[in-house]
Amino acid sequence: MLRLILLILISASSAIAESVVIGMDKEKVGITATFDGSQILLFGAVKRDKPAPLGNIQVIVTIAGPSEPISVHRKSKVFGIWMNTDTVEVDAAPSFYAVATSSDFSSTINDTEDLRYKVSIPRAIRSVGAPMNVLDAALFSDAVIRIRSDQGLYQLLENTVDIDEQTLFQTSIEMPADISDGDYTARILLTRGGNVIDEFTTIIDVRKVGLERFLFNMSRENPLAYGLMSIAIAIFAGWAASLLFRFFRTT
């Protein structure tokens, strides 16, 4: 029995004829007061231990920010007043999500593999349950996608991964200025005939740095001191502005 298991494992490992090796121009992104976005360049190669099978290989690159629950409200008019009438809790939605493909999305990965690996933007959002009175709960997830797509936080970038000689590939993904900090997961998937044949995952560290990080940490770890400091800065700024105004009036 043990010999049979070993033979199965050996045959399974030898069946992996193609794998991905990648690199990035940056593995850390620092958010400062003047941060206006960042471009991530991802490049790599397909490693083979035997001649490539028939059919072109395709590449998918995704970058996902930290996922968090989000409450989505629907407003309706009640007695002439706009009010929140329905609310659905989306269990997990990435703060940023970009998908770059070497071809049209539908021809790069089939629906079964998309469901398994959660590659497309709708599949990257998890919404398990909704109130019984909400019959169109899927529209709430669609609203998250629409709003964040308009903000540049969700991106579908078809035909943007360049493949050279079915071996080398590269792409670049723009991250907007209003991204949140945290660990961003970058995935590269190799597909052939719509099926995933290899996957590689790495982390991009996105963090506030300098004074911004100090203030951010203080607001989370010591909110009382942060509030008092904010009040003191506001009082000082008001006093300084008043003093400057009186100075220019008398001159």
Question: In the CATH hierarchy, which fold is given to the domain comprising 17-208?
Answer: Immunoglobulin-like (2.60.40)
Single pTM value for the model: 0.71
pLDDT score recorded for residue 126 = 77
pLDDT score recorded for residue 8 = 41
d(CA 5, CA 18): 23
Q: Which two tokens stand for residue 245?
A: 């105004």
Sequence-ordered list of residues with C-beta below 8 angstroms from that of 12, at least 6 positions apart, any chain: none
The answer to whether the beta carbons of residues 17 and 146 sit under 8 Å apart is no
pLDDT score recorded for residue 83 = 62
d(CA 234, CA 238): 6
Residue found by looking up tokens 């269990």 in the block? 91
d(CA 138, CA 127): 8
Amino acid, res. 32: T
Amino acid, res. 159: N
d(CA 194, CA 113): 8
3-class SS at 127? coil
d(CA 73, CA 150): 18
pLDDT score recorded for residue 238 = 73
The DSSP secondary-structure symbol of 250 reads H
Residue-by-residue pLDDT tens, the chain, 251 positions: 434 433 343 344 444 578 888 877 666 676 665 566 788 888 888 888 777 777 789 999 999 999 888 877 776 666 667 666 666 777 788 999 999 999 999 999 999 999 999 999 999 987 665 555 555 667 778 888 898 999 999 999 999 999 998 889 999 999 888 888 889 999 999 999 999 999 999 998 887 554 455 455 555 566 766 576 667 777 767 776 777 767 666 66
3-class SS at 19? strand
